[in-house]
Amino acid sequence: MKRCWTKIPVVFIIFAILFSGCSSDEEKKAAHFEKGTTYFEKGEYKSAELEFRNAIQIDPEYIDAYERLGETYLKLGDPKGAFKEYSMVAKLDPENTDAALKLATFYMLGKKPDEAREKVEAVLSREPNNIEALFLMAGLHDLDKNLYEAAAVFRKIIDLDADQARAYMGLARVYARQGKPDDAEAQLRKAIQLDVKAIKPRLELVRFYASRKEFDRARSQIEKTIELNPGNSELYIVLGNFFFQMKKPSDAEHAYLKAIEISPTDIKPYMVAAGFYDASDMVEKTLAMYEKALEIKPDDVNIMTTMAGFFLKHKKMEDAQHHLAKVLEERPNFFPARMMKGEIATMKKDFTEAIGIFDQLVKEEPRSARAHYLKGVALLGKGELQSAKTSLGKAAELNPKQEKANILLADIAMRERAFDQAQKLSEAVLSDNPKNFQARMILGNALMAQGKTGQAEIAFKLLIAENPESPAGYFRLGVLQRATKDYDGALTSFNSALDRNPMLMDVFTNLVLVYGAKKELNTALERCDAQLKKVGDSKVHQAIINNLKGGLYMAQKRTDAAKKAFEAAIQLNPDFMPPYYALARIYLAEKQPQKAIDQYESILQKKPGQAGPHMLLGTIYDMQRKYDMSEKHYRAALDINPQFAPAANNLAYLLSTRDGNIDEALKFARIAKEKLPDDPSVMDTLGWIYYKKALYGNAVQEFSDSLEKLSDNATVNFHLGAALFKKGEKTKAKAYLEKALRLDEKFDSADEARQMLSEI
């Protein structure tokens, strides 16, 4: 009999097709989930992630897959990804206890206690005796410093299950914080009695003893734990850390190596040993440990990122970039690697790239204090002072213990002459870390700038007491003593600084100035000759000392000797600017500038490829106000040597004061700043260009730095006063404008200073 397929109902065929399709999807979904689970259990988390994702693609409401994907992201070190998946579970199944507690944990770690409490309370309303929820609630009470409530919750857990060692340990921590050490120890002993071989309770007892400085008892407990668990490498790491803290490096090293011996295929002992060697400045041993860890796990992004950080610390940029490139190839969005990439860009002064990286990082992790801090550092490097303050302020807000951010903010406050703010910021750092060197230095400088000389003296003497081998404290104390005309005290302080480092020319310059103030010019010259022997073959240092000798000879009216000293300084260091001005002033004072011009023109005819003579000619014409000729010679010097900083600086200033191309002026000023970052004349020039471009915050920063070294220069005082005036800080501006006129009633911008003062 023939079968007639055409008579089978169409509806039945469609149903059969749909049914088979659904069956196929269910099978595929289950297969992906099963494969993902297998990969997860084997530790192949990237493959597991792909399979769970495939299952979710088939069924976007597959709760089990979302849960396993959350666990996978935790294993991959991606808490942000895990949070997203657990949030999806909670959305699909609002009464899913596990997801709610996981989210509460994330909120606690993210310092969002209100959100965490909401999740925990929701679970406890359904399951009042849920032990995991009770542990989280105890933790929340602890965060809020509600110790009695925390203790009550831990006791409730013990009532529900007397075998919960974690509850005894939690209760012990509460008792310790309440000042009940005997009760705390008793609870820890109870936790240990539940399982004498258990590691966590004994290590908690170790921490308890260490916190009470009972180090022998702490060590005894570590050794007892090792005796009970001889094959546990983690315990040898704990022992090594204990010895390291006790300043017993050889014992620490032995313990770390024992951990490696016990677990030769576990990367953790190698990484810990590497950290120990790095802290001990054993570079080769550090690198050897990292390389062994990488042999075991060649694709581990955490090892490669840590190695990149090690190379970065030791200024091996290429090695650091090589390892980071491998990390980012494997994990393009790996946050720590991208952070380090931004750090490298900052160190290479590629501030634009660095800021772009940190901008993206703070968008992704707006509560990352470090990302905000590093962005602030990059912005500071680029000269964007106000934006830098915003980022650094955010870093300090997110992490009030972020010393570096607060110190940079204090430093910026000093540059902006906001001395009271600098004082407050440095005092805040010192309240947490009384031995912070930079904070103590800024505090002393801020107090000195406010005229609080007694307090400043105490700050500098504390700096010396805490760091007796550092010359910095002696130098700043000497500067204070020189300012208060305690010349004998200043000489003692400057000599103490030079005993520790004879190459410090700022210190030696101040020493010479003190001898000058005491009218002991011959003694000053003798010290210069003695210092020339101490600095050896350093032409930079020799140039500075010869320039000082020239000034001393001028004070003695020994003009010929002064000329020779200034010429020697230029010969030794053509980039050093002061002797050019000194020689030009001598020629003008002698009323024979043309003789000097003819002399240098003759030198150029014989040897035209020299930038120095052009620089001297430019300086002489500058002082004669023959600006077209000075510009011609500065440009000629730069044609010979495009990186010749003195000419770049003077040409930049010339262009900015004569309404020339301000952007061209900025280009030359930046050349000078890069070559001579600590030269006060260069700072003043760059500040004036910022002033012309209406970047008053940046201008104040540069003028403030310049004034540190040129405190009695009328023009620099006027520049700082003018920038503060334009910035709207007229009370501060007044002091500098008045000082400029006191120093020199007829300096070039004296009328402008008077006009500003009339408007205040």
> Cα 745 to the chain's mean position, in Å?
44
- Asked, colleague to colleague, whether 574-664 and 678-760 share their fold, the answer is yes
Q: Mean pLDDT, the chain, as a whole number?
A: 91
Separation CA 587–CA 576 (nearest Å): 19
DSSP string, 12-46: HHHHHHHHHHHHHHHHHHHHHHHHHHHHHHTT-HH
Q: Write out the two tokens for 485.
A: 């005309």
The per-residue pLDDT for 697 is 85
Confirm if 700 and 694 have CB atoms less than 8 A apart.
Answer: no
Q: Write out the two tokens for 431.
A: 């309240």
pLDDT-based confidence at residue 416 (cuts at 50, 70, 90): confident
To the question of pTM greater than 0.75 for the whole model, the response is no
Q: What percent of the chain has pLDDT over 70?
A: 97
Q: Is the pLDDT of residue 441 over 80?
A: yes
pLDDT-based confidence at residue 8 (cuts at 50, 70, 90): very low
Separation CA 712–CA 509 (nearest Å): 15
Who's near 288: CB < 8 A, 6+ residues apart?
A: none
Pick the closest to residue 342 from 327, 330, 352, 357 (CA basis): 357
Strand segments (E) across 334-473: none
Separation CA 251–CA 623 (nearest Å): 70
pLDDT-based confidence at residue 607 (cuts at 50, 70, 90): confident
pLDDT digits (tens, 9 = 90+) for 224-249: 999 999 999 999 999 999 999 999 99
The per-residue pLDDT for 519 is 94
Confirm if 556 and 565 have CB atoms less than 8 A apart.
Answer: no
Confirm if 409 and 392 have CB atoms less than 8 A apart.
Answer: yes
Confirm if 40 and 55 have CB atoms less than 8 A apart.
Answer: no
Give, in words, the CATH class of 678-760. mainly alpha
The per-residue pLDDT for 23 is 53
Segments making up each domain of the chain, as ranges: 574-664, 678-760
Q: Is the pLDDT of residue 507 over 50?
A: yes
Q: Is the pLDDT of residue 50 over 60?
A: yes
The per-residue pLDDT for 504 is 95
8-state DSSP, 229: S
Separation CA 578–CA 295 (nearest Å): 57
pLDDT digits (tens, 9 = 90+) for 533-571: 999 999 999 999 999 999 999 999 999 999 999 999 999
8-state DSSP, 334: -
- Stretch (H or E) spanning 95: none
Give, in words, the CATH class of 574-664. mainly alpha
Q: Is the pLDDT of residue 18 over 90?
A: no
pLDDT-based confidence at residue 7 (cuts at 50, 70, 90): very low
pLDDT-based confidence at residue 672 (cuts at 50, 70, 90): very high
Span of 318-332, 503-517, 594-608, 711-725 with lowest mean pLDDT: 594-608
